[in-house]
Amino acid sequence: MKIIGTGSALPRKVVTNEDLTRFLDTSDEWIASRTGIRSRRVITDERLEDLATEAAEKALAEAGIAAADLDYILCSNIANYYVTPGLSCVVAGRIGAACPAVDINCACPGFLYAMDIAEAFFKTGRVRNVLIICAEEATRMLDWTDRSTCILFGDGAGAAVFAPGDNIKGVRMDCQPDVNTLYECRKLNHTPFLTKEEKDVPLQMNGREVFKFAVSTAVRDIESLLAEAGLTTDDIQYFMIHQANLRIIEAIRKRLGAPEEKFPSHVADHGNASSASCAILLDECNRKGLFKRGDKLIFSAFGAGLLSGAILMEW
């Protein structure tokens, strides 16, 4: 498959590090030096499906196809107002599509997992146009009194339309099962029969463990894709790394020995928008005209699961 259109949408509200110091024991200096984040976009009166719909419509417009031409919609999402139906169905209705629509919950590498699934659909010959949407309201999953997590995240949506092509040159997806390092739990409705205790648990994270996992798996995944394709970092124009933390991106870059200009980043302005991060970054780079036909891009992402993935793609 190949990408024929991209789109993204962000909430209006900008929350700076300074804004956080009004209710948290933190500082712009601590957040900026440990994460590279200066501000993030946060949902206020918008609904996530509004952002997802806007991103999808922009991607369809660039692709030059109508929603009715879509054969499949994949939506990467952890949580939104609807428990059911899936966000993919909600957005399908909003954009006027009538094709199969399915949600996947793969946390931060969700865009890569969705691309891997879409590529498999293309290989069966059953689809001609696939829309992937990544939409996340990560700020709704947090304990806003926990300064070690709530400073990291932002909200947003990114989308891309795919058509038949031979542009995916390598895929590596992994799961290292470990629930306790990064998770959130939601209490479901009570029943007259329930005998177990349950509670809502906002996002819990062992930051140091996730940091180590992120750097080591990203370097391993990228190096294995390069080796498989017989390429070196010099052959890659851009490394599209999940925008979790600038220090993570920098550690990956240094271990790969590649120059800074090959690592586009928006984490300073957006924070970590989970699976939407890579999709939004893709749209921003595309709209800036950064990519030339034939450029080689490597996407790499990691997160809860613990899941990781990397994809080598030609533009």
Chain contacts with ligand UT7 (rule: CB under 6 A)? 26, 30-31, 34-35, 108, 147-148, 151-152, 205, 207-208, 210-211, 244-245, 272, 303
Q: Is 243 helix (H, G, I), strand (E, B) or coil?
A: coil
- Closest approach of ligand UT7 to the CB of residue 145, in Å: 11
Residue nearest to ligand UT7 (CB): 207
DSSP 8-state symbol, 272: B
Q: Is 201 helix (H, G, I), strand (E, B) or coil?
A: strand
Determine how many CB atoms are found less than 10 A away from the CB of residue 61: 13
Q: Which of 80, 242, 278, 286 is catalytic?
A: 242
- Closest approach of ligand UT7 to the CB of residue 221, in Å: 15
Work out whether strand 238-241 and strand 296-303 pair parallel, antiparallel, or are unpaired: parallel
Q: Which of 89, 272, 285, 286 is catalytic?
A: 272
Q: Which residues pair with 148 in a beta bridge?
A: none
- Closest approach of ligand UT7 to the CB of residue 31, in Å: 6
- Closest approach of ligand UT7 to the CB of residue 156, in Å: 14
Q: Which is nearer to ligand UT7, 59 or 301 (CB)?
A: 301
Question: Can you read off the two tokens belonging to residue 293?
Answer: 């036909």
Instruction: Tell me the H-state helices in 86-206.
Output: 87-95, 110-124
Determine how many CB atoms are found less than 10 A away from the CB of residue 225: 21
User: Is 242 a residue of the active site?
Assistant: yes
Task: Using alpha carbons, list the distances in angstroms from residue 178 to 21, 193, 210, 243, 307.
Answer: 32, 30, 11, 21, 9
Say how far residue 260 (Cα) sits from the centre of its chain. 21
Q: Which is nearer to ligand UT7, 190 or 208 (CB)?
A: 208
Q: Which of 108, 150, 278, 285 is catalytic?
A: 108
- Closest approach of ligand UT7 to the CB of residue 138, in Å: 9
88 touches 133 (CB < 8 A): yes
60 touches 5 (CB < 8 A): yes
How far apart are the C-alpha atoms of 207 and 172, rounded to whole Å?
Answer: 24
How many Cα neighbours within 13 Å face the side chain of 252? 32
Q: Which is nearer to ligand UT7, 59 or 108 (CB)?
A: 108
Q: Which is nearer to ligand UT7, 22 or 293 (CB)?
A: 22
Q: Which residues pair with 311 in a beta bridge?
A: 171, 299
Q: Which is nearer to ligand UT7, 115 or 161 (CB)?
A: 115
Closest CA to 136 of 55, 202, 79, 204: 79
Q: Which is nearer to ligand UT7, 35 or 88 (CB)?
A: 35
User: Is 105 a residue of the active site?
Assistant: no
Q: Is 171 helix (H, G, I), strand (E, B) or coil?
A: strand
Q: Which is nearer to ligand UT7, 80 or 245 (CB)?
A: 245
Q: Which amino acids are annotated catalytic? A: 108, 242, 272
